[in-house]
């Protein structure tokens, strides 16, 4: 197993070199993971009672944009932009969503304009195929396919069948029928199928693709451009100087809806849709590719340019932070977060030559990681250990936190733990060997580079949106969501570091792709979004991304400091590169709104660290404020020493 290079962990070297062996790597989907870790070493979790609607042989699709179709109460909507889709008894209802910007949210709730029910069908259907991009439901005689990026609901039937439409459609051209509901015109492209008013007949092997006519487009042009149903659509990637995502929809062109920034080079001109993320262009393509800046994993801050007074202040803070030994939490979130904090203190102690503090922190970290890394731990205790859930196909830590037993937030929790394991394991190969089999499974749970019977491929990551989804079962009327973009970036940084330590090239390359995409999405959607189309929304950031809305809100606080702070936590080394791409004036304005009139009670440390990226004057002011910041204002995943080191490194 290859160890992390000295350059990665050295205080002055925080990114992979351009000629790193994984600098150029490509993978295609769907991929099969044939050499992944075996979860049989873990105890089996208690049987889940989650209602599932998943066919035999399909790995349950937790943490997807469409997870509500597979779990929980039927009828919750999902949102393949710009459409909404909901199951009804024996069929589905769908409609075109339209953004409704308000003071603290940009909304686009589900629309039930066209309902389709199949003769002889009942219930909410069953997921028979699932990829990170597309999902197919079997409902009676029909199969219904949705794909993120293809603005249609596609219905096919091997044996043929009849469905009832809630509104009458009339032929509007060759093999296309239309109906108008309110201000929206809907079309049905017919292939070995026919429409007569409210009756849709599909011949054996036929299909009907239902769509909303885009602004500036026509039903006939849209239908003529449609190609094969995008069943099995999936993503691949390439890594070079940039990170490239390619989503392949069909073997020949069909209709896709893409953000305007991704439309270059595509055959567009079919119209556009207004969405909560801005304008989407409607184009004809069999696949769509786009580049984002490459973000490489980082395991240390660059302190090579700090001044002697800064070094003295950081060292003094380290003495206090390393000397304090608070009781460590035992759950998968706060417990893992505490180990992340220790790992950063260990790095600082080594970098500053403070060997006594380094050994003290390393001892505590090793003791805790040995507990978390014990394969049989949950046979002996109910905390600091892992089980394998054979129902939902994943690793569940005890004690759970924030619904992690329902697969909520796994990448947030496990990112902290894997980061600590990578830092400590690179320093102590024997420790890495002891905890390696369990930590391999933890990484596989959230980031498997290929699918298997035991784990889904990249469980939480949505390659079309470029970011992850945090809810395992997504039991919400607004679809799935993600709040902490920064903890998601930490997850892929940590997986990449751990993969490098273990010599898992496939996992490492995949993690670098997700790291790059998630970092770009964090700035594009959360920290520096283009909100010009939504003047009614006065804020400079978004705090939660949903399938159907963008919120200036958090799950845990209404304070402005929480809105921005949750996008900055935990101030990891890899964050400095992408946070520094946010324009200085945007950093200052949003940090000022978050800070308010007095020192906030939460996330003040991260707000200061963020402001330090906005130029020399802001960095100097942040340093002074950080020196004076009370201990109670420093987050439990942070430390004064790390906060000061970050601000010093921001020069």
- Average pLDDT (402-416) is 97
Report pLDDT digits (tens) over 256-269: 999 999 999 999 99
pLDDT for 150 beyond 70: yes
Strand (E) or helix (H) holding 387:
strand 385-389
pLDDT for 199 beyond 90: yes
- Average pLDDT (242-255) is 97
Q: Is 512 helix (H, G, I), strand (E, B) or coil?
A: helix
What is the rounded CA–CA span in Å between residue 496 and residue 387? 23
Report pLDDT digits (tens) over 415-455: 999 999 999 999 999 999 999 999 999 999 999 999 899 99
Cβ neighbors of 355 (< 8 A, separation 6 or more) are 349
pLDDT of residue 21: 34
pLDDT for 10 beyond 90: no
Per the domain annotation, does 487 fall within a domain? yes
Q: Is 275 helix (H, G, I), strand (E, B) or coil?
A: strand
CB 317 within 8 A of CB 600: no
- Average pLDDT (152-175) is 97
Per the domain annotation, does 84 fall within a domain? no
DSSP of 44-112: BPPPP---B-B-TTPPP-TTSTTGGGTBSSTT--B--TTEEEEEETTEEEEEE---EE-SSEEE-----
Report pLDDT digits (tens) over 609-629: 999 999 999 999 999 999 999
CB 573 within 8 A of CB 340: no
pLDDT of residue 16: 34
Mean pLDDT is lowest, of 23-37, 156-170, 630-644, for: 23-37
Percentage of residues of the chain with pLDDT beyond 70: 95
pLDDT level of residue 4 (50, 70, 90 thresholds): very low
Report pLDDT digits (tens) over 440-497: 999 999 999 998 999 999 999 999 999 999 999 999 999 999 999 999 999 999 999 9
Per the domain annotation, does 231 fall within a domain? no
What range defines the domain where residue 416 resides? Answer: 308-649
Report pLDDT digits (tens) over 591-610: 999 999 999 999 999 999 99
pLDDT for 320 beyond 50: yes
| pTM reported for the whole predicted model | 0.95
Per the domain annotation, does 633 fall within a domain? yes
pLDDT of residue 541: 98
- Beta pairing, strands 234-239 & 242-248: antiparallel
Per the domain annotation, does 201 fall within a domain? no
Per the domain annotation, does 246 fall within a domain? no
pLDDT of residue 47: 67
Task: Tell me the CATH number at 452.
Answer: 1.50.10
pLDDT level of residue 46 (50, 70, 90 thresholds): confident
pLDDT for 58 beyond 70: yes
CB 389 within 8 A of CB 48: yes
pLDDT for 295 beyond 60: yes
Per the domain annotation, does 216 fall within a domain? no
Domain count, the chain: 1
pLDDT for 147 beyond 80: yes
Return mean pLDDT, the chain: 94
Per the domain annotation, does 638 fall within a domain? yes
pLDDT for 516 beyond 90: yes
pLDDT level of residue 24 (50, 70, 90 thresholds): very low
- Average pLDDT (325-343) is 95
Mean pLDDT is lowest, of 28-37, 206-215, 272-281, 527-536, for: 28-37
Q: Return the ∠ at Cα 512 (arms to 508 and 516), rounded to 5°.
A: 170
- Average pLDDT (315-340) is 95
What is the rounded CA–CA span in Å between residue 550 and residue 152? 23
pLDDT for 13 beyond 90: no
């Amino acid at each position: 197993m290859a160890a992390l290079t000295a350059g990665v962990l050295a205080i002055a070297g925080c990114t992979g070199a351009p000629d790193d062996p994984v600098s150029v790597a490509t993978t295609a989907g769907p991929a099969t993971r044939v050499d992944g870790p075996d979860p049989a070493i873990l105890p089996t979790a208690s049987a889940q009672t989650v209602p599932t609607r998943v066919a035999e042989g399909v790995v349950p699709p937790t943490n997807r944009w469409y997870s509500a179709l597979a779990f929980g109460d039927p009828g919750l909507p999902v949102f393949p932009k710009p459409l909404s889709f909901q199951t009804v008894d024996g069929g589905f209802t769908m409609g075109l969503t339209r953004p409704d910007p308000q003071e603290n949210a940009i909304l686009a709730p589900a629309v039930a304009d066209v309902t389709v029910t199949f003769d002889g069908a009942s219930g909410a259907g069953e997921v028979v195929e699932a990829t990170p991009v597309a999902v197919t439901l079997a409902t009676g005689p029909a199969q219904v396919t949705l794909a993120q990026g293809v603005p249609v609901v596609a219905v096919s039937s091997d044996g043929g069948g009849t469905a009832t439409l809630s509104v009458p459609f009339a032929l509007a051209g060759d093999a296309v029928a239309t109906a108008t509901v309110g201000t929206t015109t809907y079309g049905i492209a017919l292939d070995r199928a026919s429409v007569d008013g409210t009756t849709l007949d599909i011949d054996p092997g036929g299909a009907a693709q239902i769509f909303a006519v885009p602004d500036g487009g026509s039903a006939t042009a849209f239908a003529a451009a449609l190609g094969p149903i995008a069943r099995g659509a999936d993503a691949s990637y390439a890594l070079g100087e940039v990170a490239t995502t390619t989503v392949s929809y069909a073997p020949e062109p069909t209709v896709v809806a893409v953000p305007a920034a991704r439309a270059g080079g595509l055959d567009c001109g079919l119209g556009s849709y207004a969405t909560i993320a801005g304008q989407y262009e409607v184009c004809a393509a069999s696949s769509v590719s786009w580049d984002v800046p490459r973000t490489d994993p980082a395991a240390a801050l660059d302190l090579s340019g700090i001044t002697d007074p800064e070094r003295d202040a950081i060292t003094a803070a380290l003495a206090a932070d390393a000397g304090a030994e608070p009781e460590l939490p035992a759950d998968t979130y706060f417990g893992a977060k505490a180990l992340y904090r220790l790992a950063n203190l260990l790095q600082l102690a080594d970098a500053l030559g403070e060997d006594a503090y380094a050994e003290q922190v390393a001892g505590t970290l090793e003791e805790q990681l040995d507990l978390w890394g014990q394969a049989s731990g949950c046979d002996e205790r109910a905390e600091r250990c892992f089980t394998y859930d054979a129902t939902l196909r994943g690793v569940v830590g005890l004690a759970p936190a924030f619904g992690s037993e329902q697969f909520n937030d796994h990448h947030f929790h496990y990112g902290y733990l894997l980061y600590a394991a990578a830092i400590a394991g690179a320093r102590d190969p024997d420790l890495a060997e002891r905890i390696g089999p369990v930590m391999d499974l933890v990484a596989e749970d959230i980031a498997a580079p290929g699918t298997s019977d035991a784990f889904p491929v990249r469980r939480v990551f949505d390659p079309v949106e470029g970011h992850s989804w945090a809810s395992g079962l997504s039991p919400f009327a607004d679809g799935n969501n993600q709040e902490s973009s920064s903890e998601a970036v930490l997850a892929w940084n940590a997986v990449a570091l751990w993969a490098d330590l273990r010599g898992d090239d496939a996992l490492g390359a995949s993690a670098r792709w997700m790291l790059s995409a998630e970092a770009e999405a964090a700035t594009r959607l959360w920290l520096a979004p283009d909100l010009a189309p939504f003047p009614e929304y006065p804020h400079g950031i978004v705090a939660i991304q949903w399938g159907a809305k963008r919120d200036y809100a958090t799950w845990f606080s209404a304070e402005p400091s929480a809105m921005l702070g949750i996008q900055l936590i935990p101030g990891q080394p890899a964050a400095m590169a992408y946070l520094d791409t946010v324009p200085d004036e945007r950093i200052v304005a949003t940090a000022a709104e978050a800070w308010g009139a007095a020192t906030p009670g939460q996330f003040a440390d991260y707000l200061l660290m963020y402001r330090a990226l906005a130029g020399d004057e802001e960095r100097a002011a942040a340093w002074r404020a950080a020196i004076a910041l009370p201990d109670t204002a420093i987050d439990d995943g942070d430390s004064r020493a790390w906060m000061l080191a970050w601000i010093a490194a921001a020069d």
